[in-house]
Amino acid sequence: MMSAHTRRPISAKTFVGLVIVAVQLLPVYVTLTVALKGQTDLSSVWVLPAAPLWDNFAQALGAGKLARAFMNTTIITVAATALVVLLGALAGYPLARSRSRLNSVVLGFILAIMMIPALSLLVPLYVLMNRLRAISTFQGIIPVHVAFNLPLTVFLFTNFIRSVPRELDEAAFLDGCSVYSIFYRIMLPLLKPVTVTSVILTSVAVWNDFQYSIYFLQKSEMRVITLAINGFFGISGSNLHVGSAAALLSIIPVTVLFLVLQRYFVSGMVAGAIK
Amino acid sequence: MEKDYAKANILYVPVLLILAMYVVYPFFDGIRIAFTNWNGFSQKFKFVGATNLIRLFADGNVRIAFVNTLVYGFGSTLLQQILGLAYAVLLTGDFRGRTVVRTIIYLPVLISALVMGAMWYYVVQYDGALNEVLVLRGHSKVFWLSQRTTTVSLLVVINTFQYVGVSMVIYIAGIQAIPGTYVEAATVEGAGAWRRFGKIILPLLFPALLTSITINLIGGFKLFDIIMALTAGGPGYTTHSLATLIYSTYFGGQQAGFSAAIGLLLFVTILFFTLVFNRFVRGREVEYT
């Protein structure tokens, strides 16, 4: 990384970069121009209106029930992420430290689970959820997210704990710590980087989820953001202008978080991808 | 101490229970359902043997969805490698605005694919941004979302733009890991930029290439959100992937048994291509020597 004071040269590359940025931002820009106009405004989608109309945003939050959807999504994301990280960290400890044959089988099993695409299980999963009376409930959808995000998290924690020197454990053990208190006192404070990675990977996946939600959250008051957005594009009386406002509102939280925590996001995503 | 660690094995029991209940059990139950004619809600159903599995090969909609799934998978993967690599080369160079460009390429990765699809709708719909440009240049408007080849290609392109950031960061990490002396040595020996790229950078990026291709392939095969946002599989059944066909066969068609069978087909497809790909490339890595 260069210091902010060093001026980089403006070159042909800057121009190419601008073109790429323009393409990437095109859908966002067009969505914005639509969001700021009323349904009767037939002007080009390339131009912003002279007098922006903010009413679409208010409608999306109110009548479009986006505010409710934000609430639901937040509850589900926070709960699922907390559970995934807690259970993943706990599981990673014995899997990293006790290298018995049993544990290598267990780890292999957890990794093999990652090969099963969730989509191929949706019918039997729906049957299970129905039997548990868990359709359209928080206690129904949260464990589903937990289950499908756990394998990667367990893997990340196991790898990370393996990289922590065993001498630390042994010293504490000789001082009379039990394996549990070693985990609590020695390991836990060291797990910050991998915890950040896991929180990012899991919360982004859950926050953005559409495929499980469309199956398992069918009551309108249980809608999450993606379902609410999808609702605006339905065949039944779609309002593209309110829909565009809703789409823009929905990307604000992730965008802001990303811009603030960019370094963690990218290194976390790379860690998740490469391992 | 090893014995004491083993006592801690109890800490992974919750994970195993959850996976058993939400993944392993449904996996086998799905195989059972695939052998029935269950409609998804009735109490009554019959075991129909391999009827659903045979139908996988006979059903025209499944064939279309299967071919589309391959196009989504391989098409996006190909485009993402080309663009991702080009972006990575550009963005490891030094120029003003580099960080901003990187951020903006990566940002869509974090946005829901459904929302991304919805935003692209304003570009490609009949009264959208793309057609306005066509009209302005004297062409007539095009129905971008009404003809199979055009629409499927468009979905591939949109998926590529959303996830090219993943390949890009993998390649940037790969390029930055290449020792600078290699490139310098080649430059001193008189190798031009293309030659340096082809003979040094590309071969050393092989591990990054593997990672990126595997991720993109799996992601493309599973394509669901963008299709749901833009076409919902239509017009007719022409743009369905296996993933969206599972959904519409279950809820729209009320054929849970057949839908579960398509689920198995998706599972086998992804497993097959990932294994074949990994077998194909194993042992072909180039090492730093």
List the CATH number of the domain containing A226. 1.10.3720.10
Q: Where are the alpha helices (DSSP H) in B108-223?
A: 113-124, 129-136, 148-177, 180-188, 193-196, 202-204, 206-221
Tell me: do A148 and A230 sit in the same domain: yes
Alpha carbon B136 to chain centroid, angstroms: 35
Tell me: do A228 and A112 sit in the same domain: yes
User: Chain B contacts of A10, Cβ < 8 Å?
Assistant: 95-96
Tell me: do A88 and A182 sit in the same domain: yes
A142: CB partners within 8 A, 6+ apart: A76, A79, A80, A83
A-interface mutation test, from B3, B16, B18, most A Cβ less than 10 A away? B18
Report yes or no: B217 at the A interface, CB cutoff 8 Å. no
Tell me: do A126 and A208 sit in the same domain: yes
- For residue B47, report the phi and psi dihedrals to the nearest 5 degrees: -80, 130
Task: Tell if the CB–CB gap between A122 and B211 is shorter than 8 Å.
Answer: no
- Which parts of chain A have pLDDT scores under 70? 1-8, 234-238, 268-275
Minimum distance, in Å, between the CA of residue B265 and any CA atom of chain A = 8
Give the CATH number of domain B58-282: 1.10.3720.10
Task: Tell if the CB–CB gap between B112 and A91 is shorter than 8 Å.
Answer: no
Tell me: do A74 and A117 sit in the same domain: yes
β-bridge partners, B36 = B47
User: Which member of B97, B132, B260 has the closest CB to residue A45?
Assistant: B132
Q: What 3 state SS string does A146-184 have?
A: HHHHHHHHHHHHHHHHHCCCHHHHHHHHHCCCCHHHHHH
Query: What is the Cα–Cα distance from B171 to B178, expressed in whole angstroms?
Result: 11
- For residue B36, report the phi and psi dihedrals to the nearest 5 degrees: -120, 170
* pLDDT score of A6: 60
Report yes or no: B13 and A188 within 8 Å, Cβ to Cβ.
no
Tell me: do A66 and A186 sit in the same domain: yes
Classify residue B71 by its DSSP letter: I
Tell me: do A142 and A62 sit in the same domain: yes
- Which parts of chain B have pLDDT scores under 50? none
Tell me: do A243 and A119 sit in the same domain: yes
- Residues A77-115 as b/e (b if ≥16 CB within 10 A, e otherwise) read bebbbebbbebbbbbbbbbbbbeeeebeebbeebeebee
Query: What is the Cα–Cα distance from B32 to A124, expressed in whole angstroms?
Result: 9
User: Chain A contacts of B2, Cβ < 8 Å?
Assistant: 98
Residue of B nearest to A218 (CA): B251
- Quote the Cα angle for B247-B251-B255, to 5°: 90
β-bridge partners, B47 = B36
* pLDDT score of A200: 87
* pLDDT score of A1: 45
Report yes or no: B137 at the A interface, CB cutoff 8 Å. no
- State which residues form the domain around A85: 55-273
Tell me: do A16 and A86 sit in the same domain: no
Classify residue B108 by its DSSP letter: G
User: Chain B contacts of A172, Cβ < 8 Å?
Assistant: none
Q: How many independent structural domains does chain A possess?
A: 2
Tell me: do A77 and A185 sit in the same domain: yes
Report yes or no: B114 and A230 within 8 Å, Cβ to Cβ.
yes
Classify residue B141 by its DSSP letter: P
Residue B10 CB neighbour total at 10 angstroms:
11
Residue B44 CB neighbour total at 10 angstroms:
7
Closest CA relative to residue A136, chosen from A218, A207, A70, A72: A218
Check the CA dihedral B176-B179-B181-B187 and report its sign: negative
Tell me: do A133 and A267 sit in the same domain: yes
Residue of B nearest to A166 (CA): B1
User: Chain A contacts of B97, Cβ < 8 Å?
Assistant: 8, 14, 17-18
Tell me: do A44 and A68 sit in the same domain: no
Tell me the one-letter amino acid at A208.
N
Residue B109 CB neighbour total at 10 angstroms:
21
Closest CA relative to residue A130, chosen from B46, B49, B38: B38
User: Chain A contacts of B225, Cβ < 8 Å?
Assistant: 210-211, 226
